[in-house]
Structure formats: C-alpha cells, structure tokens
Chains A and B, each alone.
Chain A
C-alpha cells in the first residue's frame, strides 16, 4: 500500500479536479466520490489533504462514516 508523507497528502486537496484524500489514524482515504467533500471541503469546516484524526474527535459523527470509502494508503509520521 502506498505510503504518504504529510506533504504528499496535502497535494490531494480537490483543487482543479485533483483527487480528494484525507487521513484518519494513519490510513489515507479517497473521498473523491463523496457528495460531502466537493471541491475538497467538508461542511465549511474541514479541508482535504490533511490528517483529520484530531478534527474527527470533535465532529458530530464517528469514523464509521469513513468506512465506505477506499483506503488507498498509509500516512507516515
């Protein structure tokens, strides 16, 4: 499985048709097909291309909503 650095992950921010990747607990998810991640933003508060582990702790939903999206890599420290 592909390994991503934080810098590599940040390129996948949804701008100009680039795929939309996010990370949670070390896994990198491809959320490009999500209606709620259009243009790399989620609910006006969260940006793609970053590790959302901390932000998800404060979200009104758990990690179960990520499970339907493919894991396409691992985030390196």
Chain B
C-alpha cells in the first residue's frame, strides 16, 4: 500500500473503502467481460457477424487492458483482489455478458455488447464524479477508461442502427487513452 497516497485521498473527503469497492467491482467487470467477449467474438460469424467481429475483438482486448490498469491502483490504495475467482466474478459491477440463447442472432449479440459497454460507461462516470478534484490519479485512470468505453458503446450502437458512432475503428495499437497506465 502507498500509505501517503491513501492518506491524501482520505483527507480529500473520499471514503476510500467505498472507492476501493467500486474499483474492485469494476476490475471484475473488465476481466469477466474479457472472458464473455471471447465467447461472443467467436460466435460473430457469417455475413452479419464478420463485420462486427473486429470491434468486438478491440473492445475485448481493451477491457482486459482496463483490468490491468485498475489493479495497481487498487493495491496502491490498500485494497486487494479476492482470493477466489468465483467471488471476484460475483461482485462484478456489471451483469455477465452471456452469449444469447440463439448464438446466430447477431443483433442479440450486439445488444449484449452495447449493454455491457453502457454499464461500464455508467460505472466510470460514477468513479470520475466521486474523484474529480480530489483523487487525481484515480480520476485520470477512470477518465482514460471512460474514454475507451464510450467509444466501444458508440461502435456497437452504430451497428444497432442508433446513429453514427462518430468514430473510426482503431488504427494501430489498442487503448489509446489507457496505454499510459500500462507502461
């Protein structure tokens, strides 16, 4: 634990235990989403599915990156990940992104994907609201992740016919916002 780091966050008025619980729940959501997106991506096949596969893969890799970026902050603040993977799964900040009953229904898969991203957007907005102007490092991290989650949402939303995403697919490396936390 980074003792002074935790102290200054506490002195800013943030309930650090509450913040840690949120960070751990969101780290769980990222790792479990990485797992579930693997299954979704494998089922994005055929004339409809192939077009979605690439962004699903980008979102999958970036969600794993989010998990990797969150964990150091959890330990800096004095938190830790659950010992048991089952417990970790069950405390996720977002529901499991299960493969739909009909795995050939690409629209249903897209609805699962966009639902997961919307949950993440809400979660990181909450953390940003909680830490803005108080816990600069957690805010910076949560904001970086939020930027990527918003892009993921907009990509899937576009495929669902909700309007243009306003974004191109990634060019080059993944996680343009979060990569600074991974070095």
Where the two chains meet, the residues of A that have a C-beta atom closer than 8 Å to any C-beta of B are 35-36, 38, 43-45, 58-61
Q: Give the shortest distance, in Å, between A63 (CB) and chain B (any CB).
A: 14
Where the two chains meet, the residues of B that have a C-beta atom closer than 8 Å to any C-beta of A are 18, 21-22, 25, 90-96, 121-123, 125-126, 129
Chain A residues within an 8 Å CB radius of B121 = 60
Known: A38-B90, A61-B122. A44 touches B95 (CB 8 A): no
The 7 closest A-B CB pairs, nearest first, are A44-B21, A35-B95, A60-B122, A60-B125, A60-B126, A44-B22, A61-B122
Is A43 touching B22 in the complex (CB atoms < 8 A)?
yes
Least CB separation from A34: chain B residue: B95
Of the candidates A45, A58, A60, which one forms a contact with B18 in the assembled complex, judged by CB atoms under 8 Å apart? A45
Q: Which of A38, A43, A58 has the most CB of B within 10 A?
A: A43
Separation of A44 and B18 alpha carbons in the complex (Å): 6
Chain A residues within an 8 Å CB radius of B94 = 36
Chain B residues within an 8 Å CB radius of A44 = 18, 21-22, 25
8 more A-B residue pairs beyond the given contacts A35-B95, A59-B122, with a C-beta to C-beta distance below 8 A? A35-B92, A38-B90, A38-B91, A43-B123, A44-B21, A45-B18, A58-B129, A60-B129
Q: Give the shortest distance, in Å, between A4 (CB) and chain B (any CB).
A: 27
Separation of A35 and B121 alpha carbons in the complex (Å): 17
Is B129 touching A43 in the complex (CB atoms < 8 A)?
no
Least CB separation from B95: chain A residue: A35
List 21 interface pairs A-B (beta carbons < 8 Å), by A numbering: A35-B92, A36-B94, A36-B95, A38-B90, A43-B22, A43-B25, A43-B93, A43-B126, A44-B18, A44-B21, A44-B22, A44-B25, A45-B18, A45-B22, A45-B126, A59-B122, A59-B126, A60-B122, A60-B125, A60-B129, A61-B122
Chain B residues within an 8 Å CB radius of A58 = 129
Chain B residues within an 8 Å CB radius of A59 = 122, 126
Chain B residues within an 8 Å CB radius of A36 = 93-95
Chain B residues within an 8 Å CB radius of A38 = 90-91
Least CB separation from B124: chain A residue: A60
Least CB separation from B128: chain A residue: A60
Known: A44-B21, A45-B18. A35 touches B126 (CB 8 A): no
